[in-house]
Structure 1
Amino acid sequence: MKRRSLLLSAAALPFAGAARANSFPNGPFRIIVPFGAGSATDQGARNVAEGLNRIFGVPAVVENKPGANGAIAAEVAAKAKPDGQTIFVCSNTAAASNVAMMKSLPYDPLKDFEAVTLIGRAPVFLIANPKVEATTAQEFVALCKKQPGKVNFGSGSASTRISGELLKAKAQIDMVHVPYKSTPAALQDTMAGHVQMCFADPVTSLPQVKAGTVRCLGVGSRGRYRLTPDIPTLIEQGVPDFELMTWTGVMLPAGVPPAVSATLREAIVKIISEPAYVERQAQGGSEITPTTPEEMRRIQITEIELYREMMKIAGIEPE
């Protein structure tokens, strides 16, 4: 035990030294999350908070600010003091796709934020209420064609909204969209039967799939997802070119001193690379994918263009 304690102390020394050199942190971390408790983004944020508390020895408080597809939380985070102690843990919705899906935003995810790293990535899952008379995506599409405009789908983010609209366009079916403030809320109403279907990330939905409270009818990846190889893709079930991933990342308000950004990124990558964390996320269906700030920024820009193209395909006008 003594040797293990010494090793842990030694591992933390680089962060402690950097913190002293930069007088960082000089108070608690504020971690802003654009979705409600229980979402994949929230779960990632709470793991980051626990790790920062462990490494720096100061509190790390998670603040959930759902609504407006993450724009409410993003605006708060963008206007925060750029001292490295306000951290935005967000999904691709607030970090990229909102630019394509909304006519105007109170923030600019490229100009108002500095990218730090991605912390998780997964495809969208097509989730249905167990009472729906379909056990595959093919059967679900056939059901929708028999009952045009009678099937509802819920969404709690831009990714899950565009997923439903893309399914409508690719499979040539008519469904009614029901918006929610978060993916867990949409999933909850799918379980209750208030909506027949929703798209969700596996971190949020897989526990319910395993419990049998919902069915997963297909996965939105090009090939079978490594963490759920038994679930067929939508593409192999006849929905052409349906590929859509969700991701969670960390950003900081623009203007954070480079030394502070580097110290934070090093700490966060260490946290998400710990074997226990990687295994816990894998059990929930999320792959850990640390990136450089430059790589994350390229992913943001690519996704903005991707969503613009998908909105054209789905026939959606920015809101």
Structure 2
Amino acid sequence: MTANSADDGMSWQLGGQQMTTSIIGRSNALRHAALAAAIGAASLVAAPVATAQDYPNKPITAVVPFGAGGGTDTQTRMWGEAMAPLIGQRVVVENHAGAAGVIGTKHGISQDADGYTVVMGVASTIAINPQTNPAADYVPLEDLQPVALIGYTPYVMVVANDLEIETLPDLIAYGEENPGELTFAGWTGVGEMARQGLELRTGLEMTPVPYAGMVEAMTDIIAGRASGTIVDLASALPFIRSEDVTPIVMTGPEPSPAAPEIPTIDDAGVENYFIDSWVTLFVPAGTPKEIVEYLNEKTREALQTAPIQERYEELAIEFRDYSVEETEAFIERQINGWKSLIEETGSGKDS
């Protein structure tokens, strides 16, 4: 809306149509005030639509709440490269690591809800931290708007080669024979809950050691300074294929086509234990619906391009063609599912 001078009063430009009123006498002044208020309210409604019409007209920043090189960072960069030619703008990845993803997530939430900042969320930052970490003082489905599922992948447990252990039962036996010796490298809430859940189901005790990110943790496992970890298969595969670490079990009931030789948790005789991984695109709450739908549409298009599909198959990442509504429902199920495990392990904020 633009205001222009007029011979007999004031004129407003709204939606390309000029509206003019005269200010003559007290009654006309009151009508003018009422009209101005109505036009002001209309402009508030129209503004997001106008914003969405020319979106995007500058680069988009993708906030990754972990360090560079991990699974979330890798998938974000793949997504950004595939998105750029479709939206005509670059996607700039910013890594804000620390506090198991809390720092980066809160940074993303604090940004303008204009579609130019997106936040990558995973199970730890969205479904676990808000229920277990007092520093995660945000409500995911109130402070963030789910947009699209970027990728889904199973988890795997890997251990240091120098342990010379190849199965979960052997690791459990080793822990019983060497109490206090095993350490668990962790950098996300998912990893910590995976450790606690495994202890609950098997009695395996591993002392948790916090790391800033996956690269630092895997470096210490390779060097034998940490015993092992539970990590998404996409992140672990390069280290498994180079034989820098030993995979001992998939943390789900089904083998992965990318690594069918790794036994499942069911094969190891452990019941009611399932840890998975996903990366979801979010935007700050209040982002215009048209922008949310646009990002969902372009993301689904980008993830179905041949280079992405080939890379996903190589990394054992699943593509799920979810609408905004389906993405919201997926996130709600994840939050509720993790809530059950958190309550069972007694690891909630109020426990």
Q: Does the TM-score normalized on the shorter chain lie above 0.5?
A: yes
Percent identity over the alignment is 25
In the alignment, which residue of structure 2 is the partner of 1:291? 322
CA distance, structure 1, for counterparts of residue 306 and residue 349 of structure 2: 41
- Indicate the residue corresponding to 1:306 in structure 2: 337
Q: Counterpart of 1:183 in structure 2: which amino acid?
A: M
Stretches of structure 1 that go unaligned for 5 or more consecutive residues are 1-17
Q: How many residues align?
A: 302
User: For 1:131, what is the secondary structure of its paired residue?
Assistant: helix
1:307 is displaced (CA, Å) by: 2.2
Code of the residue aligned with 1:42 in structure 2: it is: D
Equivalent residue for 2:154, pick from 123, 129, 137:
123
1:262 to 267, 290, 293: 293
CA distance, structure 2, for counterparts of residue 272 and residue 185 of structure 1: 29
- Which residue is 1:276 aligned to? 307
Q: Which amino acid aligns with 1:101?
A: T
Query: Which residue in 1 is equivalent to 2:237?
Result: 206
SS of 1:268's equivalent in the other structure is helix
Superposed displacement of residue 29, structure 1: 0.6
- Give the aligned residue type for 1:252: V
| 2:170 alignment partner in structure 1 | 139
> CA contact under 8 A between 1:187 and 1:200: conserved in structure 2?
no
Give yes or no for the alignment of 1:111 onto 2:132.
no
TM-fit CA distance, 1:281: 1.7
CA distance in 1, matches of 2:341, 2:52: 47
Cα distance in 1 between the residues matched to 2:223 and 2:131: 32
Tell me the residue number matched to 2:250.
219
Match of 1:247 in 2: 278
Cα gap change, 1:255 to 1:20, in 2 (>3 Å) = closer
RMSD: 1.9
List per-residue Cα deviations over 1:146-170 (Å, max 9, x = no partner).
1122100111111111111111111
User: Take 1:226 and 1:100, find their aligned partners in 2: how far apart are those partners?
Assistant: 33
1:201 deviates by 0.8
Distance 1:259 1:305 in 2: 28
Instruction: Judge conservation of contact 2:108–2:118 (CA < 8 Å) in 1.
Output: yes
What TM-score do you get using the length of structure 1 for normalisation?
0.89
Aligned residue identity for 1:79: S
1:21-66 per-position Cα deviation (integer Å, ceiling 9, x unaligned): 7111121111100111111110111112212321222222100001
Shift of 1:109: 0.9
Query: Larger deviation: 155-164 or 103-112?
Result: 103-112
Moved over 6 A (4+): 18-21
Higher relative contact order (CA 8 A, sep 6+): 1
Aligned partners of 1:179 and 1:76: how far apart in 2?
21
Contact residue 293 and residue 324 of structure 2 kept, 8 A? no
- Which is worse superposed, 275-284 or 244-253? 275-284
Rounded to whole Å, the distance in 2 between the matches of 1:260 and 1:268 is: 12
* 2:120 is equivalent to residue 95 of structure 1: no
Tell me which moved more, 126-135 or 294-303: 294-303
Q: Does 1:53 align with 2:84?
A: yes
Which one has the largest radius of gyration?
2
8 Å CA contact retained: 2:257, 2:316: no
